[in-house]
Amino acid sequence: MLTIPNVTWLDLLCLTGVGIYLVKQVNIKKNPAPYPPGPRGWPLIDNILDMPRIKPWLTFTEWGQKYGDITHIEVLGRHMFVLNSSKTALEMMDSKSTLYSDRPVVPMAGELVGWKDSMAFLPYGDSFRQQRKNLHRVIGSRAAVNVYNVVEEVETRRFLKRVLAKPDQLQEHVRHTAGAIILRISHGYEVKENNDPFVDLANCVLANVSQATAPGAFMVDILPFLAKVPAWFPGASFKRISRKWRETLEEMVSAPHKSVKDRMADGAAPMSFTSNLLEGRDMSAEEDHAVKWSAFSLYSGGSDTTVSAIYSLFLAMTLFPDVQKKAQAEIDAVVGPDRLPTFTDRDSLPYTDALVKEVLRWSVITPTGFLHCVTEDDIHDGYYIPKGSFVMPNIWFMLNDSRTYANPSQFNPERFLAKDGKDPETEPRTMCFGFGRRICPGIHLAEASIWISTVMSLAVFDISKVVENGIEITPNVEPSPGTISHPKPFKCSIKPRSATALGLIEQEANY
């Protein structure tokens, strides 16, 4: 009878460590410069035990305070550099973007779950450039995004009505609206009012990938050879998880794309990102594949991040009523009580614009960003960064760095306004949307969605703490784990500001 030895993860780590140690001894060479400082690793397994799994950005911040702006660790022969300075991140990933724009192979999310064809995971090359070109045509500038202002405004008005009807389901309303806007743009699809199959499917897919890409969440990302083990192998539950997540992803990528092609064949497809790329072209399977994944990249890159920011706005307004009152006073003075704000008011509302920036700084959407991979050896600030290394920007610390922001723990939109002869503080968009050639291509669309949600919501709603049994409930600021972080669910009171505001909310919103 075949018996399976009782193999533990520690056994595998030790065996892997021994193998890597022997390889190092064979291939040992003198580096042209020292590595940056970092925590001292263990024999054979290097820094594998130092890798944090819970709120990794806080551990990375401690490393930065101890070791400097670049921290070096080594995990089973793979070098990783954590950046704790926006200046350093811009110097490396913007100024030297040809070296720092690749993506590493991510075994769990990319290979096993199947995200490797999405633009965020693609290696820097022809496929990446084609998808980025496709997206740039549609949302690559503020002028291009303005085409979708009506969609944004109408869906946000519908959002106000949903919140009015069921304020206790705020997070669901935010998700529904973000999905409605992106699906309308990407596939010309108008979502159902309740339980829309594509919105529900997309939310599931995005929650899965956030878990799959969280630093240290899956051992297969540290020991890639585990991808080859069978699902019955002890400790290989990740294989069963990835199979389930892959099926959900494939359905989300293919079903909306097929829907567009079917409607085009019937002559009934509304204008959309997908229909524009498919129109009048006899496409090869490879070209069709690129269009399908470009559209999905548009959705996946824009919806979940927007959800996090808008939900964070309501949390901030619950906690900081004085800021809310200042924004409402500006909106009242510029817009007046007889209509809802629109994008035409944007340039006349500087405090509200600064409020959106402060939300992006205060509640960091991607605390540790996405891994970059180095394509050639580099020496930066006298330190050796070898080819194939991983580079991780600690965006959370960059947006909470007292060298960049005065009193970073304070929620203060005025930091982004010129005042008393002082220049505004650094725009958070230079960090929170990524770096170099990997910067989010949907930055203008995301900013527009967050802004219109902010200004319309504050025009008609008062947001405050809930009172239960005579006691005011103060929400905790607790970010969720995952690559894309959200505030954990919280309670707040959302009520119309006046009878006039109630009337504006109840007006019909039609395309």
- CA 303 centroid distance within chain: 9
Spatial contact of 397 and 60, defined as CB atoms under 8 Å apart: yes
**CA nearest 433: which of 273, 296, 302?**
302
Tokens at residue 353, please?
A: 């614009």
Tokens at residue 362, please?
A: 């205060």
- CA 444 centroid distance within chain: 14
Residue with tokens 């790329």: 277
Torsion, Cα 402 407 408 409, to 10 degrees, reads 130
Spatial contact of 483 and 213, defined as CB atoms under 8 Å apart: yes
> What is the DSSP track for 6-17?
---HHHHHHHHH
Spatial contact of 165 and 506, defined as CB atoms under 8 Å apart: no
Length of the chain: 511
- CA 250 centroid distance within chain: 20
Beta bridge partner(s), residue 72: 81
Spatial contact of 18 and 44, defined as CB atoms under 8 Å apart: yes
Spatial contact of 370 and 344, defined as CB atoms under 8 Å apart: no
Tokens at residue 147, please?
A: 């085409």
Spatial contact of 409 and 60, defined as CB atoms under 8 Å apart: no
**CA nearest 122: which of 418, 446, 372?**
372
DSSP one-letter code for 295 = H
Tokens at residue 70, please?
A: 């670049």
Q: Is 440 annotated as a binding residue?
A: yes
Angle at the Cα of 340 from the Cα atoms of 336 and 346, rounded to 5 degrees: 85
Tokens at residue 433, please?
A: 């949307």
DSSP one-letter code for 502 = H
Would strands 390-393 and 78-83 be described as parallel, antiparallel, or unpaired? parallel
Q: What are the φ/ψ torsions at residue 154 (nearest 5 degrees)?
A: -65, -45
Tokens at residue 371, please?
A: 């891994």
Spatial contact of 479 and 487, defined as CB atoms under 8 Å apart: yes
Torsion, Cα 69 75 77 83, to 10 degrees, reads -20
CA distance to 100, 123, 129, 365, 447, per residue, from 95 (Å): 9, 19, 19, 24, 24
Binding-site residues from annotation for heme: 440
The annotation places the binding site at: 440
